Amino acid sequence: LAQPANTKAIETRKDVCAIFDQLNVPLTDFLGNNLIKTSPGDGDVLCSLATTSEDQFEKTVDQAQSAFLKWRTVPAPLRGELVRRFCEKVRTHKEALATIVTLDCGKTREEALGEVQEVIDICDFAVGLSRQLYGLTIATERPNHRMAETWHPLGVFGQITAFNFPVAVWSWGAMIALVCGDSVIWKPSEKTPLTALSLNGLLTQTIAEYDQAPDGLAQVVIGGADLGQALASNKRIQIVSATGSTRMGEQVSATVGARLGRAILELGGNNAAIVTPEADMELAIRGVVFAAVGTTGQRCTSMRRLIIHKSVADDFCERLKNAYSQLRIGQPQDAGVHVGPLIDQAAYSGMAKSLDIAKSEGGTVSGGERVMQDQFPNAYYVKPAIVRMPAQTDIVKHETFAPILYVMTYETLEEAIALQNGVTQGLSSAIFTNNMREAEFFLSAAGSDCGIANVNIGTSGAEIGGAFGGEKNTGGGRAAGSDTWKNFMRRATNTINYSAELPLAQGVEFGA
Ligand code: UN1
């Protein structure tokens, strides 16, 4: 964590104060001198925050535990009512919340609005779900018996989120956990604490205004990796979800696994699109550009590899370079900007280092230079890079969280799919083709091995209704819609005998 250079009090920047005032969330409660928060857009200090101490963390877990014991007995549709009320506030303050997202993580205005919309969408989903938490009735082998399953709230849900989607990913888990009857503790990335404090502040207000909802139902803790580790190791936190790097996920998984807790992991991706000669090239260009440069290449779902048929590769790359040359790189709050800053200096160094390695492995780089450094020496803007590679070398197999698109060619679709699957990550994938045989093969058991496989859509920009996550080093977890609610509840199988006999299962006779 950044430490203040001296003890002089750091004033909170006026634009940050204005938004928290508008939301009526008291930021002053969180100010302190452990964590200096800067803006990726201009490198300026926004404020300085207090981090959560070990004692405070234990108290947070105490409160979450007692809130859970009350909340689990509130009927699920009434739990949904809390989410409905919270969603109304999010809709009302959508613009202000998007401004906080932009200040906090440097996401463009358009994408920040999209991210807040993702929160609204999952709230709507969760409200509907609060009337659809159902179990199965199963045929029993014993006469006059009934067998069914019931789903109950599980406990305290701890959530570790990344900087790049500072609210959407929290809401996928938190809104569903709340309708499932769990309480929530959120540890946002220390790079984006302001988004977390503003959103959780609105949720806290909603909880205070709703007589069914206990205090302490949804809390935020601020800190770095040590706090994440404390959350993962705490036996009273039954479910831990973590979004971030594979290395972080391995640690969280080992810690949660050692205490037999439940972990939901959504880790790195190294997402590829295959473009076949039968693709609609105009559509493919648009799909590739958005997925490769959107959010400045800092989505888990960002397109990092393009696997294109040899016969169309040169022409496609020329068109792609032309499209890249028209991208507007600029301050994220400005209208019409496509590419905002990288999150910080480390992200920029990581990008520069990967491009050097790619060159040494035979790559031809176009773009990738740092720009706007004269105006903003402490902000890191780059031109997105296209790198033609002779093969899928080591650097291509590595996820660099920046706008680098490696381009490789193929001759047969089998070869393309082998390249696509030939990395350790397994999050998202896409094929661009109008040929039904190619598309269906890509989606088949012998096709893409990713948790997300799309046709004629880029790798990013999933809707909240589908399960989101992937296999291999992506961690195997699923968040967001579909039936992911089952992660947040415990299942009981109930067998009820309504006869005066006691027949045993499996035909066992027990004489006595
Ligand atoms: C992430 O980058 O962790 O599919 C989440 C997408 C967004 C979510 C990305 N809906 O790109």
Tokens 């971030």, residue located? 244
Among 257, 308, 256, residue whose Cα is nearest residue 420: 308
Mean pLDDT on 384-406: 98
With a 6 Å cutoff on the Cβ, whether 192 touches ligand 1 is no
**Residue 308: left if φ>0, alpha if ψ -120 to 50, beta else—which one?**
beta
pLDDT tens by residue, 19-32 = 999 999 999 999 99
Return the residue whose CA atom lies nearest to atom 6 of ligand 1. 461
**Looking at per-residue confidence, does 185 or 6 come out higher?**
185
Please determine, for residue 2, whether its predicted confidence score (pLDDT) is greater than 70.
no
Q: Which of 111, 172, 189, 299 to mutate to test the pocket of ligand 1 (most atoms within 8 A of CB)?
A: 299
**The pLDDT of residue 474:** 96
Please determine, for residue 51, whether its predicted confidence score (pLDDT) is greater than 90.
yes
pLDDT band for position 511 (cuts 50, 70, 90):
confident
Q: In sequence order, which residues have a C-beta less than 8 Å from that of residue 133 and are 6 or more positions away?
A: 76, 151, 179, 180, 485, 489
Contact 459, 429 (CB under 8 A): yes
pLDDT band for position 459 (cuts 50, 70, 90):
very high
pTM to 2 decimal places: 0.96
With a 6 Å cutoff on the Cβ, whether 462 touches ligand 1 is yes
Ligand 1 centroid, distance to 291 Cα (angstroms): 11
End-to-end Cα distance, the chain: 68
Please determine, for residue 344, whether its predicted confidence score (pLDDT) is greater than 90.
yes
Please determine, for residue 5, whether its predicted confidence score (pLDDT) is greater than 60.
no
Among 474, 440, 472, residue whose Cα is nearest residue 455: 440
Quick one: DSSP state of residue 473? T
State the chain's mean pLDDT as an integer.
Answer: 97
With a 6 Å cutoff on the Cβ, whether 460 touches ligand 1 is yes
Question: What residue type is assigned to position 53 of the chain?
Answer: S
Mean pLDDT on 237-259: 95
Biggest CA-to-CA distance, the chain: 90
**The pLDDT of residue 258:** 97
Ligand 1 centroid, distance to 218 Cα (angstroms): 23
| Bridge partners of residue 493, in order along the sequence | 149
Which residues belong to the active site? Answer: 266
**The pLDDT of residue 183:** 98
Q: Which of 468, 474, 478 to mutate to test the pocket of ligand 1 (most atoms within 8 A of CB)?
A: 468
Mean pLDDT on 105-130: 98
**The pLDDT of residue 8:** 60
Please determine, for residue 512, whether its predicted confidence score (pLDDT) is greater than 80.
no
In whole angstroms, give the CA distance from residue 288 to residue 102. 23
In whole angstroms, give the CA distance from residue 504 to residue 512. 13
Burial 160-187 (b: 16+ CB within 10 A, else e): bbbbbbbbbbbbbbbbbbbbbbbbbbbb
pLDDT tens by residue, 192-223 = 999 999 999 999 999 999 999 999 999 999 99
Share of the chain above pLDDT 70, in %: 98
Count of positions (residues) in the chain: 512
Ligand 1 centroid, distance to 169 Cα (angstroms): 8
Q: Which long-range contacts (CB under 8 A, 24 or more apart) does 296-299 make?
A: 296/106, 296/339, 296/340, 296/341, 296/342, 296/382, 296/384, 296/402, 296/403, 297/384, 297/401, 297/402, 297/403, 297/404, 298/164, 298/342, 298/343, 298/347, 298/401, 298/402, 299/164, 299/165, 299/460
Please determine, for residue 180, whether its predicted confidence score (pLDDT) is greater than 90.
yes
With a 6 Å cutoff on the Cβ, whether 164 touches ligand 1 is yes
Apex 461 CA angle, 459 and 466, nearest 5: 95
With a 6 Å cutoff on the Cβ, whether 165 touches ligand 1 is yes
With a 6 Å cutoff on the Cβ, whether 480 touches ligand 1 is no
Quick one: DSSP state of residue 135? -
**The pLDDT of residue 101:** 98
**The pLDDT of residue 328:** 98
Please determine, for residue 444, whether its predicted confidence score (pLDDT) is greater than 90.
yes
Mean pLDDT on 188-193: 98
**The pLDDT of residue 95:** 98
In whole angstroms, give the CA distance from residue 142 to residue 138. 12
With a 6 Å cutoff on the Cβ, whether 475 touches ligand 1 is no
pLDDT band for position 9 (cuts 50, 70, 90):
confident
How is residue 133 written in tokens?
A: 């938490």
pLDDT tens by residue, 142-174 = 999 999 999 999 999 999 999 999 999 999 999
pLDDT tens by residue, 352-363 = 999 999 999 999
For residue 428, give the ligand 1 atom closest to its CA.
4
Tokens 């890079």, residue located? 385
In whole angstroms, give the CA distance from residue 432 to residue 68. 47
The dihedral formed by the CA atoms of 212, 183, 188 and 332, expressed in degrees to the nearest 10: -40
Ligand 1 centroid, distance to 299 Cα (angstroms): 6
pLDDT band for position 7 (cuts 50, 70, 90):
low
Ligand 1 centroid, distance to 247 Cα (angstroms): 19
Ligand 1 centroid, distance to 469 Cα (angstroms): 10
With a 6 Å cutoff on the Cβ, whether 433 touches ligand 1 is no
**The pLDDT of residue 6:** 52
